[in-house]
């Protein structure tokens, strides 16, 4: 392992350790880490790893971690598992779309109908969307990248962010990156 690779590995390991310690401090009502916390931690870890590998520098690790943490925080803040799955599907479709039309999904609340009353009506459906906002670009490593605008409307609040996603040559997985 080269000295540069060792430094990157240590930076990623240190960042992951710090994030895991923070995660233990921020919990939801059930005593587990909140979706927002988990989104921030996972996004930072993934972004830092990708940034370090892509740029072979501590700056790449830090920049990737910051972008990943922001994206993960915004998505994790409000969305449950089903809503995140639908947003991921919309992102996949937007990535390969020929036009800049958004892919939109409406996710009905998971609260059982029996638990809704006049005093506690069912929450409104969540709407998630992904729209390409630029053309695909091929990077020197053979990966293809494209900026995608992600939007989620839940409980009357809309969150929008633009993230660049890349797909490695021969893979179907999309990864958010800082470019």
Query: pLDDT tens track of the chain, all 179 residues?
Result: 556 555 554 455 454 444 444 444 444 444 445 455 556 666 666 666 676 666 666 666 676 666 676 666 655 555 788 888 999 999 999 999 999 999 999 998 865 555 556 677 777 899 999 999 999 999 999 999 999 999 999 888 999 999 999 999 888 888 998 65
* 9 and 53 assigned to the same domain: yes
* 165 and 106 assigned to the same domain: yes
* 125 and 65 assigned to the same domain: no
* 104 and 68 assigned to the same domain: no
* 11 and 69 assigned to the same domain: yes
Q: Which pLDDT value is given to residue 155? A: 86
Residues 6 or more apart whose CB falls under 8 angstroms from that of 75 comprise 39, 43, 84, 87, 150, 152
* 48 and 10 assigned to the same domain: yes
* 73 and 104 assigned to the same domain: no
Answer whether residue 84 is part of any domain. no
Q: Which pLDDT value is given to residue 6? A: 54
Answer whether residue 88 is part of any domain. no
**Residue pointed to by tokens 């020197």:** 140
Residue 123's CB: how many other CB atoms inside 10 A?
14
Answer whether residue 15 is part of any domain. yes
Answer whether residue 11 is part of any domain. yes
If one counts the domains in the chain, the total is: 2
Side-chain-side CA neighbours of residue 68 (13 Å): 26
34: domain range?
1-78
* 8 and 72 assigned to the same domain: yes
* 59 and 103 assigned to the same domain: no
Under 8 Å between Cβ of 106 and 125: yes
Answer whether residue 134 is part of any domain. yes
Answer whether residue 32 is part of any domain. yes
Report in angstroms the alpha-carbon separations of 169 from 74, 132, 134.
28, 19, 19
* 104 and 167 assigned to the same domain: yes
Q: Which pLDDT value is given to residue 106? A: 92
Q: Which pLDDT value is given to residue 91? A: 94
Q: Which pLDDT value is given to residue 112? A: 57
* 127 and 54 assigned to the same domain: no
Answer whether residue 90 is part of any domain. no
* 66 and 126 assigned to the same domain: no
Among 147, 142, 128, smallest CA distance to 67 is for 147
Answer whether residue 91 is part of any domain. no
């Amino acid at each position: 392992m080269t000295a540069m690779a060792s430094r990157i590995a240590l930076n990623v390991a240190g960042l992951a350790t710090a994030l895991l310690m923070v995660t233990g401090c921020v919990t939801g009502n059930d005593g587990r880490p909140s979706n927002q916390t988990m989104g921030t931690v996972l996004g930072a870890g993934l972004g830092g790893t990708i940034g370090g590998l892509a740029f072979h520098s501590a700056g790449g690790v830090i920049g990737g971690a910051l972008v990943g943490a922001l994206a993960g925080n915004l998505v994790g803040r409000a969305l449950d598992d089903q809503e995140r799955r639908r947003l991921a599907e919309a992102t996949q479709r937007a990535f390969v779309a020929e036009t800049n039309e958004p892919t939109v999904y409406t996710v009905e609340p998971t609260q059982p109908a029996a638990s809704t009353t006049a005093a506690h009506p069912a929450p409104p459906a969540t709407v998630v969307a992904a729209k390409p906002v630029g053309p695909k670009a091929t990077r020197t490593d053979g990966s293809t990248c494209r900026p995608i605008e992600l939007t989620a409307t839940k409980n009357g609040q809309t969150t929008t962010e633009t993230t660049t996603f890349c797909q490695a040559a021969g893979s179907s997985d999309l990864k958010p990156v800082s470019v």
